C-alpha cells in the first residue's frame, strides 16, 4: 500500500487511462442516487473520484461512508470528464478517477472549523485548531510557498559560495534592545542561557575564523510586544560576508530577493533597487520604512509660513519646530467624519491637530483659508505642484512627532481612497542612518541599529568628543531594505577594529567591565586579524506576508503565537511542576 501513490493535484489529461493509487482526506461527498462523487484532497490539491452505477455493493457502501475529513485510499483509473462537466478553472477539472476500490483508513469527528470554505474564520478558532486550519487551501499554499522560498535561498546562496553554518541556540544574555528569553541551567545552578535575538556575534566570529561567506535560515527570539508583523520567535535569512563593501552586499541581496519573488509568485522584479538616504526618506515620507507605491509626499512649509498669523504655525516655528503637510486630490471622497478621525489619530503622535485648506485654480477655501495670503496660496500651489483641486493637510510641532503623524496620515488616506496599487512590489534601500540616537530623558546614547555597526569614515574622529547635539552627525555604514512600507531586512558593515569597537561601547555607556562580561569573546577575536566584513538579516515571515498579500505574519507561519504570545493549540506557555522548579533552583514569587 502507498508504494506507488500518485498525488491528487498533479493528475492531468495525460494520465487518462492510467491506473492510480490515491490517498488523502474527503473534502466532499455527493450521492446522486447511483453515482457517488468524492472530492479527495492531499497536499497537492484535489481531484474528483467517481463511483458509478456499475460498482459493487461493497464499493458503493465504502464510498457512501466516506464523510468529510475521513482519510481514505482509492484505486482507480484516470479518465477524461464529459465535455459538459469539464471545469477549466480547476487544475484537475478536465479529469476524474473512476474508483474500483476505496478503503477507509481513519474516521474523523465533524470539524469545528470548515476546511473547504473561503469565508472568514475567527483567528482564535483557526489557531486553536491549527492542525485543521493547515488543511485549508490558503494555508497549505502559504506553507508550501514558504518552503519554496527557503529552497530558492539555499540554492542561490550555495551557488554563490556561501556556507550554511548553524550557530548556538543557547548562549549568554546580552540585552541590547528587546528583552531576552532566558533558559535556566540545571547543571550551573543560578545561571541562565538566553535564546538568540540574532546570530550577530557568532556570524562575526565566523568571518574572523575565515569562513568568508556564511548564511543560515535561523530562528530568532525576542520577548517584545507583538503586532501583526512580529512574533516572539521568527525566522531570518541571515548572511555575513568578508572582503566586501555595502554595494556588493546590496547587489547580492537584490539578486537573492529576485530569485525568491520569482519562485514564490512567478513575477520578475527590477534590480537594482532605488536608494533613499535616511534623511530623504523621513523628509519625503515621514518614516525610514516608506511605502513608495503612491505619492502623497510630505512637503516642508516652514519657510513660507515664517510670518504666519495662524497661532499653531507661529508657535511651532518660534519654538524651532516645523510646519509640514501633504496634498490630496479633492475628489469629494474625503468626508468631515474622515477628517475628524484623522485628527484624533494624529494627536496620538503628539501634534496639536491637522488644519486643512482646499486649493485649486481659484482662491483657497475652508479650514485655515483666511490665514493664507494670496502670496502664500501661490507658494503652496508651487511647492505642492498642485494642478487640480486638492485638500492640503498640515501639522506643526517638533520634527519627529510631525513626521510620524504625517507618515501615518498619508497611509490612512491612501488606503481610504484606494490610492495603493496592491499588485506592486516596491523595493527600496534606505541608507546613511545616524549611528546613534540620544535619549534626553535617560541622558545616554543608544545604537540606531546595534553596537557592532561601523561608523562612516568621516564620523570616526567625532567619537572621542561626541555631544548629544551631534548625535545625528555620525552616520552608520548601515542599510535597510524596505518592501511596500515594511522593513524586510537590515544590515551593515561591521566594526573590525577593536579600538573603534571600544569607543562605541564607551559612548553607549558600556563600561570596560560590562563589555568584558557581555562581549569578551568578540572583543578578543577582533584583536586577531578581523577582516572587513558586513551582512544583513532578511525577515522571511515579513517577506512571505507581503508576497502572498496576507494581513498578518501569522498567516504564513505554520504554528504562530497570538498577540499575547500564546499557542492556542498546545496551550503554551504553561505552568511546570514544583519538582521541575526545585531541580532548577527556582521558586515562584507571585503571578
Domains and CATH numbers, the chain: 8-106 (2.40.50.140), 139-253+445-579 (3.30.930.10), 294-416 (3.30.1360.30)
The pTM for the full model equals: 0.94
Secondary structure E strands in 360-516: 390-397, 427-431, 436-439, 444-447, 478-483, 486-493
Express each pLDDT in 434-484 by its tens digit: 999 988 888 899 898 889 999 999 989 899 888 888 888 999 999 999 999
- 453 and 447 in contact (C-beta within 8 Å)? yes
Vertex 108, ends 107 and 114: CA angle to 5°?
145
Q: Crossing angle of helices 246-265/137-159, nearest 10°?
A: 140
Express each pLDDT in 167-183 by its tens digit: 999 998 876 567 899 99
Per-residue pLDDT at 287: 97
Which residues fall within 8 angstroms of residue 144, CB to CB, at 6 or more apart? 43
Ranking 67-71, 175-179, 280-284, 292-296 by mean pLDDT, the lowest is 175-179
Per-residue pLDDT at 436: 93
- C-alpha span between 236 and 503 (Å, rounded): 29
3-class DSSP state for residue 163? strand
Which whole-number Å values give the CA distances from 146 to 213, 260, 284, 559, in the listed order? 24, 10, 33, 13
Per-residue pLDDT at 175: 61
361: its cell numbers: 485654480
DSSP 284-342: HHSSSS---SS----EE-TTTTTT---HHHHHHHHTT-EEEEEEEE--S---HHHHHHH
174 or 306, higher pLDDT: 306
Residue 215 has phi, psi (to 5 degrees) of -145, 165
Which whole-number Å values give the CA distances from 512 to 501, 509, 517, in the listed order? 11, 9, 9
Q: Which of 468, 443, 430, 472 is nearest to 455 (CA)?
A: 472
Q: Which of 477, 427, 457, 460 is nearest to 245 (CA)?
A: 477
Mean pLDDT of the region 73-77: 97
Per-residue pLDDT at 7: 97
Residues in the chain: 591
Signed CA dihedral, 129, 131, 135, 139: sign only: positive
- CA dihedral (275, 154, 486, 533) in degrees, to 10, reads -50
Q: Is pLDDT of 591 > 70?
A: no
Residue 357 has phi, psi (to 5 degrees) of -150, 145
- 475 and 456 in contact (C-beta within 8 Å)? yes
Q: Is pLDDT of 58 > 90?
A: yes
Express each pLDDT in 481-531 by its tens digit: 999 999 999 999 999 999 999 999 999 988 888 888 888 899 999 999 999
Signed CA dihedral, 195, 201, 203, 206: sign only: negative
239: its cell numbers: 548572511
Q: Is pLDDT of 398 > 70?
A: yes
Beta bridge partners of 95: 80
Q: Is pLDDT of 140 > 90?
A: yes
Percentage of the chain surpassing pLDDT 70?
Answer: 99
Q: How confident is the model at residue 67 (pLDDT cuts 50, 70, 90)?
A: very high
- C-alpha span between 200 and 63 (Å, rounded): 57
Per-residue pLDDT at 128: 97
541: its cell numbers: 515571515
Residue 99 has phi, psi (to 5 degrees) of -80, 140
DSSP 24-90: EEEEEEEE-SS-EEEEEEETTEEEEEEE-TTS-HHHHHHHHH--TT-EEEEEEEEEEPPGGG--TTS
Per the listing, cell 482509492 goes with: 74
- 206 and 522 in contact (C-beta within 8 Å)? no
Per-residue pLDDT at 362: 80
Average pLDDT, the chain: 93
Q: Is pLDDT of 113 > 90?
A: yes
392: its cell numbers: 492640503
- C-alpha span between 300 and 311 (Å, rounded): 18
Helices (H) and strands (E) in the chain, counts: 15, 21
102: its cell numbers: 476505496
Which residues fall within 8 angstroms of residue 524, CB to CB, at 6 or more apart? none
Mean pLDDT of the region 59-67: 94
Per-residue pLDDT at 85: 87
Mean pLDDT of the region 374-396: 91
Per-residue pLDDT at 308: 86
442: its cell numbers: 535617560
Mean pLDDT of the region 400-417: 96
- C-alpha span between 241 and 147 (Å, rounded): 25
Rounded to whole angstroms, the maximal C-alpha distance in the chain is 94
- Chain centre distance of CA 533: 26
Q: Is pLDDT of 89 > 90?
A: no
- C-alpha span between 249 and 536 (Å, rounded): 8
- 478 and 456 in contact (C-beta within 8 Å)? no
Mean pLDDT of the region 230-245: 96
Which residues fall within 8 angstroms of residue 324, CB to CB, at 6 or more apart? 298, 299, 300, 301, 302, 394, 395, 396, 402, 403, 406
44: its cell numbers: 497537492
- C-alpha span between 8 and 46 (Å, rounded): 5
Secondary structure E strands in 92-232: 95-106, 163-164, 182-184, 192-194, 213-221
Per-residue pLDDT at 176: 59
462: its cell numbers: 567625532
Amino acid at each position: 500500500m502507498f508504494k506507488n501513490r500518485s498525488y491528487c493535484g498533479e493528475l492531468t489529461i495525460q494520465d487518462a487511462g492510467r491506473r492510480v493509487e490515491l490517498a488523502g482526506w474527503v473534502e466532499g461527498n455527493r450521492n446522486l442516487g447511483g453515482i457517488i462523487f468524492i472530492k479527495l484532497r492531499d497536499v497537492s490539491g484535489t481531484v474528483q473520484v467517481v463511483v458509478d452505477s456499475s460498482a459493487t455493493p461493497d464499493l458503493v457502501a465504502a464510498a457512501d461512508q466516506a464523510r468529510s475529513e475521513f482519510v481514505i485510499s482509492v484505486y482507480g483509473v484516470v479518465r477524461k470528464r464529459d465535455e459538459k462537466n469539464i471545469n477549466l478553472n480547476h487544475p484537475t477539472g478536465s479529469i476524474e478517477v473512476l474508483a474500483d476500490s476505496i478503503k477507509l483508513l481513519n474516521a474523523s469527528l465533524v470539524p469545528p472549523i470548515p476546511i473547504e470554505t473561503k469565508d472568514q474564520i475567527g483567528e482564535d478558532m483557526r489557531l486553536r485548531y491549527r492542525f485543521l486550519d493547515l488543511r485549508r487551501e490558503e494555508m497549505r499554499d502559504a506553507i508550501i510557498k514558504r518552503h519554496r522560498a527557503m529552497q530558492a535561498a539555499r540554492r542561490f546562496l550555495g551557488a554563490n559560495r556561501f556556507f550554511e553554518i548553524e550557530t548556538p541556540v543557547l548562549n549568554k544574555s546580552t540585552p541590547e534592545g528587546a528583552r531576552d528569553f532566558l533558559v535556566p541551567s540545571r547543571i550551573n545552578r543560578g545561571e541562565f542561557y538566553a535564546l538568540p535575538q540574532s546570530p550577530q556575534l557568532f556570524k562575526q566570529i565566523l568571518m574572523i575564523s575565515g569562513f568568508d561567506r556564511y548564511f543560515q535560515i535561523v530562528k530568532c527570539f525576542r520577548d517584545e510586544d507583538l503586532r501583526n508583523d512580529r512574533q516572539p520567535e521568527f525566522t531570518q535569512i541571515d548572511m555575513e560576508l568578508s572582503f566586501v563593501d555595502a554595494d556588493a552586499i546590496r547587489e547580492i541581496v537584490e539578486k537573492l530577493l529576485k530569485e525568491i519573488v520569482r519562485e514564490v509568485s512567478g513575477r520578475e522584479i527590477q534590480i537594482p533597487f532605488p536608494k533613499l538616504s535616511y534623511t530623504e526618506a523621513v523628509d519625503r515620507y515621514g518614516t525610514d520604512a516608506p511605502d513608495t507605491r503612491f505619492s502623497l509626499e510630505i512637503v516642508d512649509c516652514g519657510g513660507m509660513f515664517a510670518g504666519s498669523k495662524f497661532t499653531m504655525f507661529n508657535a511651532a516655528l518660534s519654538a524651532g519646530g516645523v510646519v509640514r503637510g501633504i496634498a490630496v486630490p479633492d475628489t469629494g471622497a474625503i468626508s468631515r467624519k474622515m477628517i475628524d478621525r484623522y485628527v484624533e489619530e494624529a494627536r496620538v503622535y503628539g501634534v496639536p491637530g491637522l488644519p486643512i485648506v482646499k486649493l485649486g485654480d481659484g482662491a483657497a477655501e475652508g479650514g485655515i483659508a483666511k490665514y493664507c495670503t494670496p502670496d502664500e496660496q501661490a507658494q503652496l500651489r508651487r511647492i505642492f505642484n498642485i494642478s487640480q483641486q486638492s485638500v492640503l493637510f498640515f501639522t506643526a510641532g517638533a520634527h519627529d512627532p510631525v513626521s510620524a503623524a504625517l507618515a501615518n496620515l498619508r497611509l490612512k488616506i491612501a488606503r481610504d481612497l484606494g490610492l495603493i496599487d496592491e499588485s506592486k512590489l516596491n523595493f527600496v534601500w534606505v541608507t546613511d542612518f545616524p549611528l546613534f540616537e540620544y535619549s534626553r530623558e535617560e541622558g545616554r546614547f543608544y545604537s540606531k541599529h546595534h553596537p557592532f555597526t561601523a561608523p562612516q569614515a568621516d564620523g570616526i574622529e567625532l567619537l572621542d568628543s561626541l555631544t548629544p547635539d551631534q548625535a545625528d552627525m555620525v552616520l552608520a555604514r548601515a542599510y535597510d531594505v524596505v518592501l511596500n512600507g515594511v522593513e524586510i531586512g537590515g544590515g551593515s558593515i561591521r566594526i573590525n577594529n577593536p579600538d573603534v569597537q571600544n569607543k562605541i561601547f564607551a559612548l553607549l555607556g558600556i563600561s570596560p567591565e560590562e563589555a568584558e562580561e557581555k562581549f569578551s569573546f568578540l572583543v578578543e577575536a577582533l584583536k586577531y586579524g578581523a577582516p572587513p566584513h558586513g551582512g544583513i538579516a532578511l525577515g522571511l515571515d515579513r517577506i512571505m506576508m507581503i508576497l502572498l498579500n496576507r494581513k498578518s505574519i501569522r498567516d504564513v507561519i505554520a504554528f504562530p503565537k497570538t498577540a499575547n504570545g500564546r499557542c492556542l493549540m498546545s496551550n503554551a506557555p504553561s505552568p511546570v511542576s514544583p519538582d521541575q522548579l526545585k531541580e532548577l533552583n527556582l521558586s515562584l514569587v507571585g503571578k
